[in-house]
Amino acid sequence: MKQKLTTIALLIITSICTYAQNPGLIVTSVQTNLTNQSNVKLESFTYNYMQFYANDYNVVNDKRAALILDTIKSQNLICDDICLRKMCQRTGIEWAITTEIKQIAGRIYVISKMINKDPRVANKTAKMDFLNLPDEAEFMLKLTLQKLLNIPHDKNELLSLTDETLSSSGRLPNYQQSLNLSGPRLGYTVFTGPSADILKASKMNGGYNMRPGFINVGYQFEQQYLHGGSCQGIIEIIPQISGLDQGLFLPSLSVLNGLRNARTGLEFAFGPTFNITKKENKYFEDGSWYRSQDKENINNLPLEGQLDSRGSATIQANLAFAIGKSFQAGTMNIPVNFFFVPNKDDYRYGVSIGYNFRR
């Protein structure tokens, strides 16, 4: 037994050491003269791609490096190999990657270079030229980065950007589909105020005799509709079932509109959420809610729909707010979100976690 534990410990230490030995790599700049593309957007694309596929490197997003690079550029006016090497030397990051995308004489040329902090180490360079299709700059950048990392190209994708016949046929790939972050979700919702009291109350009093908190199981369908540099606009549709842990079946649907920062993984979203609840018409008197059949409404007080297990099923709408962050582990994306749903008399809040894979 002791020998097995020793072996496992050695394997863990070896794995940690192997990861630590991966050389650091920072995405510094992408320069382009394409009028419909921005440097910031292409830099964000490069960072995300290298984060997922440059497995032999520890891709970092170091703010210190950006500050140092800006200082060096302000002194040198240009950011050449020497400038990038100085930045690497000051930060201790082994490699810096830079890319140029230029439209020249009816073609688009992409050059990606990896510069090492040690001038004795040869730089790595990948050069490719494509048809004059500015809208497909991200595809061109992707193919060039694949060449730089020795990742095999998709033949059809390559031909669609280099072969005039295929390009004119309109058979171009859609890279946005590979950025879909849909996936399963598991969460927990906590109720407060009167809603929590009703959930805890006995069934004979219109309650549920349950804890004021439910486990949620669902799936998030996501579509990105806006790419503005490092920020992305997203629409999230989340159907889910709550209460299975307490023998209930409570379906709901949320439609959220949000923004995500592609570099940090931080996101914020808001939108309507719909759920089916049981409600009963009641009137408020002496600090409590009563049904007319339980206590005569002698003062003819107005009736309002209130949560009650004896009532009829109805659809309730609320506004939901969510904030979270997506953590990355290799090709896996792990979103963690906190949400808040205010109501007229109380509110509910909770956490949701999921997973998906970069395709």
CATH assignment at residue 226:
2.40.160.20
Same domain, 87 and 153: yes
pLDDT at residue 62, as a whole number: 59
- Contact between 280 and 310 (Cβ < 8 Å): yes
> Structural domain of residue 71, as residue ranges?
2-173
Same domain, 166 and 185: no
Last residue of a domain, one of 142, 173, 204: 173
Same domain, 81 and 188: no
The total number of structural domains that make up the chain? 2
For residues 162-188, average pLDDT = 62
Last residue of a domain, one of 173, 205, 224: 173
CATH assignment at residue 29:
3.40.50.10610
CA distances from 254 to 94, 196, 238, 273, 317 (A): 45, 21, 5, 4, 10
- Contact between 27 and 49 (Cβ < 8 Å): no
Same domain, 157 and 231: no
Same domain, 212 and 271: yes
Same domain, 128 and 214: no
pLDDT at residue 4, as a whole number: 53
Beta-bridged to residue 186, according to DSSP, are 217, 353
Same domain, 99 and 122: yes
Burial label for 8, CB within 10 Å (0-12, 13-18, 19+), is exposed
Cβ neighbors of 35 (< 8 A, separation 6 or more) are 134
* pTM for the full predicted model: 0.51
Kindly report, residue by residue over 86-127, the tens digit of the pLDDT.
Answer: 878 887 888 888 899 999 988 999 999 999 988 888 889 999
Q: How confident is the model at residue 170 (pLDDT cuts 50, 70, 90)?
A: very low
Mean pLDDT, rounded, of the chain: 81
Alpha helix (H) ranges present in 149-297?
A: 155-162, 164-168, 193-200
Same domain, 161 and 57: yes
Same domain, 159 and 184: no
Last residue of a domain, one of 148, 173, 198: 173
Same domain, 202 and 305: yes
Kindly report, residue by residue over 239-286, the tens digit of the pLDDT.
Answer: 999 999 998 888 999 999 999 876 677 899 999 999 988 888 888 887
